[in-house]
């Protein structure tokens, strides 16, 4: 039942992300007087459609994306209501609106989650893996970790971040149990066994935290800002480690299913977190200067702005088509890796 619910939730989340993204393009295209021929959810073949005020709103068979088809989007049409005829700054706004909407959605989701209450992991140990650095250091269930290398850790996330920054190096933990404080030293593993963390401890206890609007907004912006800042380092790690840390639709569906399972115990915040993380990722990755992505189209607009004339429409269309083909091959490759991890049980 959890698997079915997780898959359904995945498609709902994907639909929300796509609608918000494309609504950004659509809204500003309409605002600047660009004719929008079609607003599509999913990719063709078309299943259903209805035309309203000159725009066809369509539902398509492949439920993994969406599109806004604007008149003259490659500069092939010079009519006043075409995309290519608009000033460069308006075209830039239209193209950037989709990714920006995704980032704003992530901020809004985190804001609601922080405002209504969210689970915060405590640093009390509930289990220790056999043969792990934690067991060798003498850590036991019931111990509460209060400091890492002398720095206070207020929650599980802070503890995990502090340990992740010291993989392979000795770490000093301040531990409290029944009012007695002791100091232990562990060496977090760089490559822990599947299902275990770097130290080998389990911390399952959580509390529900409520914050005011000001704190919620600050925390939301901070969360999204941190995720945006981490994207360059993730991309930089791909040449060295391959795409093993990157997930496609299958991997994302698996993460969503896990979030649905966790939501049964601690409320909907895990699903909200997945929604916000995916929305941020979609927004940032779409700004990469790759043909067919918004970032690639933005690059073409900037070049045409500098040249004071649009690029050859046929050439631009071919480049974007080649970029789309590359992205489809990349998605297929990543999906194959997801299937291999799924079959091998390493998800």
Question: Each residue's pLDDT tens digit in the chain (347 positions)?
Answer: 677 888 888 889 999 999 999 999 999 999 999 999 999 998 888 999 999 988 999 999 988 888 999 998 876 677 889 998 899 999 999 999 999 999 999 999 999 988 888 777 778 888 899 989 999 999 988 888 999 998 888 788 888 888 988 888 999 999 988 778 899 999 999 888 887 889 999 887 777 777 889 989 998 999 899 888 877 777 776 655 555 566 778 888 888 888 888 777 777 888 888 999 999 999 999 999 988 899 999 999 999 898 888 778 788 888 888 888 888 888 888 888 878 777 776 55
Cα R_g (the chain), whole angstroms: 24
Q: Which residues contact 8 (CB under 8 A, 6 or more apart)?
A: none
pTM of the model: 0.77
Q: Which domains does the chain have, with CATH numbers?
A: 82-117+212-347 (no CATH), 123-204 (2.30.42.10)
DSSP readout, 97-154? HHHHHHHHHHHHHHHHHHHH-EEEE--B--EE-TTSHHHHTT--TT-EEEEETTEE--
d(CA 77, CA 305): 17
CA dist., res. 196 & res. 199, Å (int): 8
């Amino acid at each position: 039942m959890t698997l079915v619910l997780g898959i359904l939730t995945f498609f709902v989340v994907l639909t929300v992300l796509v609608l918000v993204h494309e609504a950004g393009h659509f809204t500003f295209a309409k605002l600047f007087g660009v004719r929008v021929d079609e607003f599509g959810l999913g990719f063709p073949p078309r299943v259903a459609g209805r035309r309203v005020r000159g725009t066809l709103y369509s539902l398509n068979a492949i439920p993994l994306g969406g599109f806004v088809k604007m008149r003259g989007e490659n500069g092939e049409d010079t009519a006043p209501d075409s995309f290519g005829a608009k000033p460069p700054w308006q075209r830039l706004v239209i193209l950037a609106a989709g990714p920006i909407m995704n980032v704003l959605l992530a901020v809004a989701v985190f804001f609601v989650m922080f405002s209504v209450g969210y689970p915060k992991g405590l640093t009390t140990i509930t289990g220790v893996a056999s043969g792990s650095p934690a067991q060798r250091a003498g850590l036991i269930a019931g111990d509460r970790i209060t400091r890492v290398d002398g720095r206070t850790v207020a929650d599980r996330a802070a503890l995990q971040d502090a340990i992740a920054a010291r993989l392979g190096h000795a770490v000093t933990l301040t531990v409290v149990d029944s009012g007695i404080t002791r100091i232990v030293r562990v060496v977090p593993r760089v490559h822990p066994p599947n299902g275990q963390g770097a130290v080998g401890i389990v911390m399952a206890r959580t509390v529900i935290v409520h914050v005011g609007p000001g704190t919620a907004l600050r925390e939301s912006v901070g969360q999204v800002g941190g995720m945006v800042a981490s994207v360059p380092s993730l991309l930089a790690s791909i040449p060295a480690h391959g795409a093993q840390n990157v997930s496609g639709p299958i991997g994302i569906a698996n993460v969503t299913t896990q979030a649905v399972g966790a939501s049964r115990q601690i409320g909907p915040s895990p699903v909200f977190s997945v929604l916000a993380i995916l929305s941020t990722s979609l927004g940032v990755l779409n700004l990469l200067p790759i043909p067919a992505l918004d970032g690639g189209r933005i690059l073409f607009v900037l070049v045409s702005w500098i040249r004071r004339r649009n690029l050859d429409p046929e050439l631009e269309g071919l480049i974007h088509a080649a970029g789309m083909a590359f992205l489809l091959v990349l998605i297929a490759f990543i999906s194959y890796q997801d299937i291999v991890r799924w079959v091998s049980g390493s998800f």
